[in-house]
Amino acid sequence: MNLFFSHLAGQEKFKKNIEGLWREGRIPHTMIFYGEEGLGKTTAALDLAANLTNSLPMDEDFSQTGFSADLWKDVAKWDKASEKTLLLTGAKESVWYLRPIGTGLRIDQFRAFLKEMAAFDDTPKVCIIDEAQTMKDEVANSLLKTLEEPPAQVYFILITHDIHALLSTILSRGEKFGFFPLSFDVYRNLLMSDMDKYALPSGMSMEMAYDLSVGNPGVTMDLCKDDEPEPDRAMRFWETITWSSMSFSTLFSWKLGERKDFLRLLRWILLVGRDIMVMSDVGDISFARCNQVEERLRKVAPYWGEGRAQKALDVLQTAELACRRNISVKNIWDMIAIRLSHIKRGI
């Protein structure tokens, strides 16, 4: 059994690339892991860090049993640490982890790491910088100076879900590795491997969960915690846009919650919207995913023909991307309400 990335589902291209570099002794000292939240970037960084800082020789098939156990025991304690903790560390201070405090990574966090780095011995160390896109200019410039002449025994792994937000000078210093949604087969095997962890809400099939999460394990975990009747709420959104003469004021009064809650709502609205598009085009309810609201779909779909549904989905997909780039949830919601109302009216 290959345990080089024992906690990471899918991402076979990434695994193959890293293992190839490992065998050739060419692991980059600066790596950038990019892709949507929930695809395993931080998990992969921790597994790789465990390998890089492991003093025991690795078996030919990367199956050194228990080599990452110590680090993952420390990781389990990190969630309990104060959100204001500047640095988190594990594996006997061989792995260092920086995460945003408040709205972003702060300069005092990086200064604290540089102070620790000055005292490092010659054994391998790894610094993981999560949500690197939240670095302010002062942090980014300080990091850039370090990356220009990195210590021989120190590896930096930057993690971001918005690679375009990183300075071009930082991008040029690191080797980039992309993370992508899982195929349905890999996704299904992951869910079946731990049915307790991935306990889908009542009435939700694996196919629906896959469509809703777009093959993203992290999003699926959010779905498993979801006790709210989101299909009903998403359907109410479409009914409001379709029929209400006061759709703006009605939607503006909705409580949207935190960003992750808003993203979940957007995904449901998109999923219901896809059903509306299919029904408006072919008129066949058998293709619908959201069977819980089947009769309501039948009533709304005829109003979104002639390409209107596709235009609405384009707006919603743009909104989802904007949300991932930390644009104001309220501004995104206002944009959705206005644009979709115009599309419905043929403007």
Task: Work out the pLDDT band at 74, boundaries 50, 70, 90.
Answer: confident
- Structural domains of the chain, with CATH: 12-178 (3.40.50.300), 228-344 (1.20.272)
For 56-70, 117-131, 253-267, which range has the lowest pLDDT when averaged over its residues? 56-70
pLDDT at 331 over 90: yes
Nearest CA to 50 out of 113, 87, 3 is that of 3
Distance, in Å, from the CA atom of 166 to the CA atom of 1, rounded to the nearest integer, reads 36
CA 295 to chain centre: 33
pLDDT for the residue 65: 44
**Residue-wise pLDDT tens digits, 125-136:** 999 999 999 888
- The tokens for 16 are 């193959």
* Strand-by-strand arrangement of the 88-90 sheet: 88-90, 95-98, 125-129, 154-160, 30-34, 175-178
Task: Work out the pLDDT band at 291, boundaries 50, 70, 90.
Answer: confident
Rounded to the nearest 10°, the torsion over CA 24, 25, 26, 32 is 110
- The tokens for 99 are 């995460």
pLDDT for the residue 313: 93
pLDDT for the residue 286: 65
Distance, in Å, from the CA atom of 4 to the CA atom of 137, rounded to the nearest integer, reads 35
Compare 57 and 285 and report the one with higher pLDDT.
285
CB 313 within 8 A of CB 270: yes
pLDDT at 267 over 70: yes
Task: Using DSSP bridges, classify how beta strands 88-90 and 95-98 pair: parallel, antiparallel or unpaired.
Answer: antiparallel
Average pLDDT over residues 13-25: 92
Average pLDDT over residues 129-156: 89
pLDDT for the residue 284: 65
Question: Facing residues of 173 across strands?
Answer: none
Q: How far apart are the first and last CA of the chain?
A: 58
pLDDT for the residue 62: 46
For 33-42, 63-72, 118-127, 285-294, which range has the lowest pLDDT when averaged over its residues? 63-72
Task: Using DSSP bridges, classify how beta strands 30-34 and 88-90 pair: parallel, antiparallel or unpaired.
Answer: unpaired
Average pLDDT over residues 96-117: 89
